[in-house]
Amino acid sequence: MALLLPVFAFALSNPPLTAQKLSQPATPDAARDLRHQSADWFAIEPHLPDPVTASPQKLETAGDVLRARRFPEDALVYYGYALQRGGPEQELLIRIGVTELELRHIDVARLYFLRVVRLQKKNAQGWNNLGAAEYVEGRYGAAISDYSKAIKLDKKSAIYHSNLGTALFEEKNFEKARQQFDIALTLDPDMMQHHGASGIEAHMLSPADHAHYSFEIARLYAHRGDEENMLRYLTLASEGGYDVLGSMGSDEVLAKYRKDPRVISLVRNANALRNAKTSVADARSGGVPPLLPQVPN
């Protein structure tokens, strides 16, 4: 994803993206150079296709392999070669944009996704990924608009509905967020286990918001009668500092679980975990009161 910024400005102002520019080496990167000394790189490099003679499909596949094996900058170069050889422009622009997004080059990724939806206004994947870029930058209203456009074009994508729910959650529109999460789980009951490949994961929320988010997901599972996942997400919410027992009373389904030994136990364990972390922080800081605990997602 590490392409030169002038390339992206050009991509918006000139009709064809020049693959020659896209395939230029990225600025020297010590981390990338170090990865090029790894056993993985030495195993992959001899099998990379010749950019002059290989087909666009082989060059695109090479980019996919490099991205999967954690060589994103090199993946970008091969996606650029594929473009130069006449590969499918919109698909390759999406791959480039997603790779840039993974590298946290948000502005750059956004330009690529904008390019995609300008080339084809009915590209659902382009709108979804543009929404992801907007979300990461905190433009939740724009993300909601983009995700909604993706859903209009593809109503059966659980990820699109989940992404919209997450953006609505950030806007504190919890009722509509729950509706979207519910649709997502209806479309794909296992969505929460593998979500993230094409959009934004819940772990990108702040720790406090993530705890509340986990409680909302627990509520959905409770209403679906899925106690295993309900308890799993109540645990995450409680470990994040959310008042699980206090909030359960306002939900007609969750209320019956307030005195459930499993819930009482998970809240007790979460409190012990947070207290233990606080004690460690106190010891390390010489008794200075720590910030509120931030439980890893």
Q: Domains in the chain, ordered, with CATH?
A: 5-120 (1.25.40), 205-284 (no CATH)
CA distance 59 to 76: 11
Task: Give the pLDDT score at 96.
Answer: 95
Q: What distance in Å separates the CA atoms of residue 69 and residue 51, rounded to the nearest whole number?
A: 19
Q: Which pLDDT does position 38 carry in this prediction? A: 86
Q: How far apart, in whole angstroms, are the C-alpha atoms of residue 114 and residue 110?
A: 6
pLDDT score of 208: 73
As given in the structure block, the two tokens for residue 5 are 């910024």
**pLDDT at residue number 25:** 42
pLDDT tens string, the chain, 297 residues long: the values are 333 222 222 222 222 333 334 444 445 577 788 888 888 898 999 999 999 999 999 999 999 999 999 999 999 999 999 999 999 999 999 999 999 998 999 999 999 999 999 999 999 999 999 999 999 889 999 999 999 999 999 999 999 999 999 999 999 999 999 999 999 999 998 877 655 444 444 435 666 788 998 999 999 999 999 999 999 999 999 999 999 999 999 999 999 999 999 999 999 999 998 887 655 444 444 443 333 333 333
Q: What is the pLDDT of residue 204?
A: 52
Nearest to 123 by CA among 135, 114, 133: 114
Which amino acid is located at 194 in the chain? H
What is residue 278's predicted lDDT score, i.e. its pLDDT? Answer: 56
Q: What's residue 35's pLDDT?
A: 85
Look at the block and give the residue holding tokens 């080059």.
105
